[in-house]
Amino acid sequence: MSENKLSDDSKIIISRRSFLKGIVAGSGALMVSNGWGIFSMAYAGDKQYTMIIVDYNKCTGCRTCETACSAYNHKASVNGESINGLGNPYLSNIKVYQFNPDVDVPRVCAMCPDNPCIEACPVDPDPKGRRALYRHETTGAVTNDPDRCIGCGSCAEECRVGVITPNSETNMPERMCTLCDGDPQCVKLCPFNALTQVTVDTSRGMYAMRPEQIADALTKQWYSAE
């Protein structure tokens, strides 16, 4: 198994554990400096978004991330108490795509700083300046307001990664990453430490690419003749 040769940004692929350690050690600045991508001016102030990235050399396609996401974001009510659901992967916001030759590509919201999905939302902004689709105040996650959403599907059409999926009945957008209120469960439960929460950097390799494109690139890299 080769070292991470996927992109030259391996420096910033920091596992959650080392990220936390890094903060303690004061080296979290590395992350911050990488956050200032070309869209940094579009952040409206100094807001920085974070996202889940994948180390494709570590991912084995087991789909534990899907079950972790689903369990946290689709809670069950048990005796009036809201607890984690059973992890039905259909409801997951992160989805693993598998290809032949063997390549596994988890697909998850890229948290695009230029907000193509939100820009596409035709609903008039409320007094807070929010359209039906908006950035969550604390996490920055793309969030839908079902009371104002008209189910037009424009956001899904503009989604670069193909994450946003209109609900089969209401046509309202689903599958946007919530970052699990700041503690992404997929990152936490990946048995292979393949997922990491990082500051969005649009210059990062394979940023906002669709699973098929990523699979093509990985196939060339892993399975081309010597």
Partner 1 sequence: MKNAPHGYYGVILEVDLSTRKIRKMPVDHSDLANFIGGRGLGIKLLWNRLKDKPGLDPLSPDNPLMFMPGPLSGFPVPSSSRTCVVTKSPMTSPVNSKYQYASTLSYANMGGFFGPELRFAGYDGLVVTGKSDAPVYLYIDDDMVEIRDASKFWGLGTDQFDKDFIKELGDPRFRTCYIGPAGENLVRYASIINTAARAAGRGGVGCVMGSKKLKGIAVRGTGQPNVADHKLFLAALDEARAKLNDPSVYDHWRNGGTTAALERNSASGLQAVKNYREGTFTEAKKLGVESSKKYWVRSFSCYCCPLSCKKSGMTKGSPYAGLIHDGPEYETGTMLGANLMISDLPGVMKAIYLGDDYGMDIISLGNVIGFLMEAYDKKLIDKNFLDGIDLQWGSVDATLKMIHKIAARDGIGELASRGVKALAERIGQNSDKFAMHVKGHELAAHNCQANPPRALCYATSHRGACHLNGNDAEQQNMRTLADSAGLCFFAMYGYGTDGKLLGKILSGIIGQERAEDLAKTGERIYNLEQLFNCREGFTRADDVVPDRYFEEPLTIGDKKGAVMSRDKFKIMMDEHYAARGWNPDTTLPTQAKLEQLGLAEDGNRI
| Binds partner 1 by CB under 8 A, chosen from 101, 124, 127, 138 | 101
| Beta carbon nearer to partner 1, 43 or 99 | 99
Asked whether 118 and 133 are in contact (CB, 8 A), the reply is yes
| Beta carbon nearer to partner 1, 31 or 65 | 65
Q: What angle do CA 177, 182, 185 make, to 5 degrees?
A: 65
CB of 120 to partner 1, least distance (A): 24
| Binds partner 1 by CB under 8 A, chosen from 38, 83, 126, 137 | 83
DSSP string spanning 79-97? TTEEE-----GGG-SSEEE
| Binds partner 1 by CB under 8 A, chosen from 34, 64, 93, 185 | 64
| Binds partner 1 by CB under 8 A, chosen from 23, 29, 32, 78 | 78
Tell me, residue by residue from 1 to 40, as one string, x for binding to partner 1 by CB under 8 A and - for no binding.
xx--------------------------------------
In the structure encoding, which two tokens stand for residue 197, read together?
Answer: 């929460």
Give the CA distances from residue 43 to residues 6, 27, 134, 151, in Å, rounded to whole numbers and listed in that order.
28, 23, 13, 27
* E-state strands within 142-224: 142-144, 165-166, 173-174, 195-199
Give the CA distances from residue 111 to residues 48, 79, 83, 97, 202, in Å, rounded to whole numbers and listed in that order.
10, 36, 27, 19, 10
| Beta carbon nearer to partner 1, 28 or 85 | 85
| Beta carbon nearer to partner 1, 132 or 215 | 215
Task: Assess 73 for contact with partner 1 (CB under 8 A).
Answer: no
Question: What gap in Å lies between CA 116 and CA 124, rounded to an integer?
Answer: 16
Question: What gap in Å lies between CA 114 and CA 22, rounded to an integer?
Answer: 28
CB of 12 to partner 1, least distance (A): 22
Instruction: Please report, as ranges, the residues that interact with partner 1 according to CB under 8 A.
Output: 1-2, 57, 60-64, 67-68, 71, 76, 78, 83-84, 86-90, 95, 97-102, 104, 189, 191-192, 211, 222-223, 225-226
